[in-house]
Structure 1
Amino acid sequence: MSTLSLAPAFAPLARPARTTVRLTRRGRLTVFMLSLLVALTAAFVLAGGAVGTGEAGQPAPTEIVQVAPGDTLWGIASDIATDGDVRGVMNEIERLNALESTGLAAGQKLRVPVLTD
């Protein structure tokens, strides 16, 4: 008589040993504080690269123009722009006066750049 033995096609996987490490409230607070300290230290080190100069900057030369009835920002900028870059001058006027739109009111005073050639 002969015997037949069958081996399983796959072996069951052994489960890894489960650890029961749990943090207490004080442990969680310690981990949080250490993480916060690392983040603040990284921010401090990276912010150290921001450098200013010891000298004051030179302001751009400007003059004040009072808006007349019917004046537009395009018209004022085209009068000032000697090189034909009207849009660039419009953007500069908007930046100098912190304008949110291109609408102007009669009597409004605008700071405009003095362009030199």
Structure 2
Amino acid sequence: MSTMTLNPTRELRLGRDLPVAARQAPGSTGVRLTRRGRVVVVAAILLTVLVAGVFFGSRSVATDEAGTPAPTEVVMVGQGDTLWGIASEIAVDGDVPSVMSEIKRLNALDSGMLTLGQKLRIPLAD
């Protein structure tokens, strides 16, 4: 006659009795970060992007040769002169708005307002 011994099976309740590796979801890597860990990782990534942006974005496009300045002349604003009037006198092709923009750029003007006696640099007509 032969005898057989049965081992009672142990029930598992909601994974509490499983080892840690068995409790993880399928496909997870096993690395879990705390909130502070996530903040540190995000800060490190942002710092890396900032350093890369400063390093690669700070390249100069200047050359060793000096540029030639545009030929200009200086005029004094008289009574009743406007920026449109001055620009229309020197605009050879009739493109007054572009000449006005050039006068503003040459004189660092924020608006088209002129004052009596103001000296303006204007581009020479071609």
The normalised TM-score by structure 2 is 0.63
Larger-gyration structure (1/2): 2
Per the alignment, residue 95 of structure 2 pairs with 85
Q: Does 1:23 align with 2:34?
A: yes
1:22-61 equivalence runs, <5 A: 22-23=33-34, 25=36, 27-28=37-38, 30-44=40-54, 46-47=56-57, 50-61=60-71
Gaps of 5+ in 1: 1-15
Gaps of 5+ in 2: 1-23
Counterparts of 1:77 and 1:84, CA distance in 2: 9
Q: Report how far residue 34 of structure 1 moved.
A: 2.6
Deviates more, 1:82-91 or 1:67-76: 82-91
| Partner-residue secondary structure (3-state), 1:68 | coil
CA offsets 1:82-115 (integer angstroms, 9 cap, x no match): 2222222111111111222212111011111112
> Cα RMSD (Å) of the superposition?
2.7
Structure scoring higher RCO (CA < 8 A, sep ≥ 6) equals 1
Count of residue pairs brought into register by the alignment: 100
Change (3 A) 1:106 1:23: same
Q: Does 1:97 align with 2:107?
A: yes
Change (3 A) 1:90 1:45: same
Q: Report how far residue 33 of structure 1 moved.
A: 4.7
Q: Report how far residue 61 of structure 1 moved.
A: 1.0
Aligned-partner residue type, residue 32 of structure 2: V
Per the alignment, residue 77 of structure 2 pairs with 67
Deviates more, 1:41-50 or 1:93-102: 41-50
Aligned-partner residue type, residue 68 of structure 1: G
Q: Report how far residue 73 of structure 1 moved.
A: 1.0
